[in-house]
Amino acid sequence: MKKFIAILCMITCLFGLTACGSEAALSEYEQRKVENAQQLADEMVLYLFAQYMDDAAAESFDGYTAGEVEYILENQYNIRVDGNAFLTAIDSFHSAKASIGTITGTNGSTATIDGSQITVEVEVTGEQKNATAEIIFSNDMFLKLEAAALNPKASTSDLMGNAALNTLIGMGTVFAVLILISLIISAFKVIPKIQANMAKKKSTPAEGSGVDNAVTQIAEQEAIVEEETDDCELVAVIAAAIAASEGAVTTDGFVVRSIRRR
């Protein structure tokens, strides 16, 4: 019984997922709007934009306001458009000509309803490469043109080039990181040597100060010896002066016990 309930739950979930993934069926009125939008895009709008892909034709609307563009297209072509959207679409088709060339035909179209808009995608054949024209209408009986763009498709060579470029960038990044890691690892051997050299440089002033102290001590000892030498000379002079004052010939009988400076 438990197995049966589990299987029943699984089947219910599968049906629920299927129902969620399927699109709601269009009503008869919506289907007519979709068909009219596809026909309008294939036979009129796409043809109209193709006429303005040349430089001179694209510049023919320069200076017109959005309201004036809407008036011209409604009176001359019986098409309701958003003026700003139409001017933007002309720029898109004109820019796409450099990559796809002149439009030579179409390969069918698809249309979908998304809220207040109907989006028609037309497969376009060009002299150099194919493209997809995306044309958006208002979801009502007027089918007002709200946006349009021509998007070139990437060719096989373009895809291969992009894949090669991505591969090159990825491999280059990997090798750059590996080189950086190897440099960091090799730096571990150099760092101890640098630290040892810095320690030696720090110990050198201490050694120099010891030498300086020794030199200072030697200089002080030399000064003491010089002072003692000066005292001996002073003693001899004093002894000679005393002997002269006493009338003695020599200073053998004189003994100098101390000398006091005043």
- The pLDDT, as a whole number, for residue 74 is 92
Q: What pTM was estimated for this model as a whole?
A: 0.53
Would residue 94 count as lying in a domain?
yes
Would residue 252 count as lying in a domain?
no
Would residue 211 count as lying in a domain?
no
Q: Within the chain, which residues score under 70 in pLDDT?
A: 1-24, 155-159, 203-215, 217-219, 221-235, 237, 243-262
Would residue 139 count as lying in a domain?
yes
Laid out side by side, the sheet with 117-126 consists of 103-114, 117-126, 131-138, 145-152
- Long-range contacts made by residues 90-93, C-beta under 8 angstroms, separation at least 24? 90/49, 90/52, 90/58, 90/61, 91/58, 92/148, 92/149, 92/150, 93/49, 93/50, 93/52, 93/53, 93/148, 93/149, 93/150
- The pLDDT, as a whole number, for residue 147 is 93
Would residue 14 count as lying in a domain?
yes
Would residue 75 count as lying in a domain?
yes
Report yes or no: 52 and 62 within 8 Å, Cβ to Cβ: no
Pairwise CA distance, residues 118 & 37, whole Å: 7
Report yes or no: 103 and 129 within 8 Å, Cβ to Cβ: no
Task: Give the model confidence (pLDDT) of 127-169 as tens digits.
Answer: 888 999 999 999 998 999 999 999 998 766 666 777 788 888 8
Number of domains making up the chain? 1
- The pLDDT, as a whole number, for residue 3 is 55
Which CATH number is 70's domain given?
3.10.450
Would residue 111 count as lying in a domain?
yes
Nearest to 89, CA basis, from 37, 146, 148, 48: 148
Domain coverage including residue 42: 2-153
Report yes or no: 77 and 69 within 8 Å, Cβ to Cβ: no
Would residue 171 count as lying in a domain?
no
